[in-house]
């Protein structure tokens, strides 16, 4: 993936990529924790820079639901949406409701070249709704 994106392959980049692959929607702190299992000396700033580079290259997607810190995932380019639990903050992927990325076709694009539509569904996840009932 790194070579295809014309990025130099480094241990830090590999570690960050596989951390996000293993746990989609990870925030920066949990990516750092996972990466440090393999590279104990890696700095917060280094991981932050790698996340930024990989996101810029399109290998990672950054999402930031209201009230949440930024989270990263390796499922990119398909414009999928997210459902977020109001109670525990759990996040799950949701495909577009109709066919392939139809949400990119705005009713009026206002002259913008649109490349992403971000839809966030809010609700209560199944384990939170079980606990409260
Ligand atoms: Zn929940
Ligand atoms: Zn996702």
- The rounded distance, in Å, linking the Cα atoms of 65 and 6 is 30
Cα 84 to ligand 1 centroid, rounded to whole Å: 8
Strand partners, 61: 73
The ligand placed nearest to the CA atom of residue 26 is 2
The ligand placed nearest to the CA atom of residue 79 is 2
Asked if pLDDT for residue 44 goes beyond 90, the answer is yes
Cα 83 to ligand 1 centroid, rounded to whole Å: 11
Cα 108 to ligand 1 centroid, rounded to whole Å: 35
- Concatenating the DSSP letter of every residue in 56-96 gives HTTSSEEE--TTS--EEES--SS--EEEEETTT--EEEE--
Cα 16 to ligand 1 centroid, rounded to whole Å: 26
Considering the chain, what is the average pLDDT of its residues?
91
Rounded to 10°, the helix 44-56/28-38 angle is 110
What is the pTM assigned to this prediction?
0.85
The ligand placed nearest to the CA atom of residue 127 is 1
Are 53 and 69 in contact by the 8 Å Cβ rule? The answer is no
* Highest-confidence segment of 71-75, 77-81, 104-108: 71-75
């Amino acid at each position: 993936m790194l070579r295809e994106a014309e990025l130099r392959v480094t241990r830090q980049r590999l570690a960050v990529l596989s951390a996000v692959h293993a746990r989609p929607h990870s925030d920066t702190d949990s990516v750092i924790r996972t990466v440090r299992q393999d590279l104990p000396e890696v700095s917060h700033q280094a991981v932050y820079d790698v996340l930024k580079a990989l996101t810029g290259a399109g290998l990672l997607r950054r999402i930031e639901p209201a009230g949440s810190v930024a989270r990263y995932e390796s499922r990119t380019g398909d414009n999928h949406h997210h459902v977020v639990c109001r109670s525990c903050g759990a996040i799950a992927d949701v495909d577009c409701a109709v066919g392939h990325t139809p949400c990119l076709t705005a009713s009026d694009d206002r002259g913008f070249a649109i490349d992403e539509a971000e839809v966030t569904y809010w609700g209560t996840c199944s384990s939170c709704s079980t606990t409260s009932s």
